[in-house]
Amino acid sequence: MITHNLEKSIIKQAMVVSDGSIQLKGDLAIPEQALGMIVLAGGSGSHRHHHSDRYIARALHQTGLATCLINLLTPAEEDIDMRTQHYRFDVRLLSRRLLRVTEGLRHHPETSHLKVGYFCADAESAAALLTCADHPNTVHAIVSRSGRTDLVGSALGRIKTPTLLIVGAGDFPCLGMNQDALEQFQGAKRLEVIPDATHLFEEQPALDQAIEVACHWFKLHLQG
């Protein structure tokens, strides 16, 4: 269980990133002497305010990591997606927008000096992996939680970014596809299977364990 006693030492700012005529809205939180910047990207318009994502961000802050919580879809796009599923699995679109976010962080005065890592779940993990494959010098570490690695295709073989795959032991479809994906990565890689966890780690002890493993991975690969 995480605590929240570091909140007073964190700089918090709103962030807006443009992708053509689309504006993506996010929240920055930067602890003093941050060790790196972690992008927590989701495809839902309510992502920034989702309890589990806020919980993960606070845990990362206590490890000394800055966070950017951002939506990769606008509220209007999410409304369409709820009816048609037009956007949620458009990994190319999500990857392009994730790259725009990363570029924005590289040019932001408060974050330009920080190495960037991705902590994403489900289809957004696929977008993060694709971004790492297409732009290998942009991201320094990635953690995928219940990631849809099947959506990345042959690009998995081009990923050199240190990659940690976290999957629940009870999430059998995701576990199988992540095991297959692990063999294709070229860089540092690891698969962490969390006992008594299902898809997206809705069980609190399992989520805490996943966060702990992720924090260690980011500190290992973002420092120095």
For residue range 142-196, what is the model confidence (pLDDT) as tens digits? 999 999 999 999 999 999 999 999 999 999 999 999 999 999 999 999 999 999 8
Specify the length of the chain in residues: 224
Which of the four pLDDT bands, split at 50, 70 and 90, describes residue 10? very high
User: According to the model, what pLDDT value does residue 223 have?
Assistant: 85
pLDDT (mean) for 78-98: 92
Which of the four pLDDT bands, split at 50, 70 and 90, describes residue 4? very low
H or E stretch including 61? helix 51-62
Amino acid at the residue 103? E
pLDDT (mean) for 69-73: 94
pLDDT (mean) for 30-36: 95
Which 8-state DSSP code applies to residue 46? Answer: T
How many alpha carbons fall within 13 Å on the CB side of residue 150? 8
For residue range 114-144, what is the model confidence (pLDDT) as tens digits? 999 999 999 999 999 999 999 999 999 999 9
Which of the four pLDDT bands, split at 50, 70 and 90, describes residue 202? confident
Report the range of poorest mean pLDDT among 18-27, 58-67, 82-91.
82-91
Q: Where are the domains of the chain?
A: 8-222
Out of 3.30.390.50, 3.40.640.10, 3.40.50.12780, 3.40.50.1820, the CATH code matching 8-222 is 3.40.50.1820
User: According to the model, what pLDDT value does residue 217 have?
Assistant: 98
Rounded CA-CA distance 88/25 in Å is: 17
Q: How far apart are the first and last CA of the chain?
A: 28
Neighbours of 107 (CB within 10 A): 8
For the cut 60, the answer to whether the pLDDT of residue 1 exceeds it is no
User: According to the model, what pLDDT value does residue 62 have?
Assistant: 94
Residue 136 dihedral angles phi and psi, to the nearest 5° = -65, -20
User: According to the model, what pLDDT value does residue 187 have?
Assistant: 93
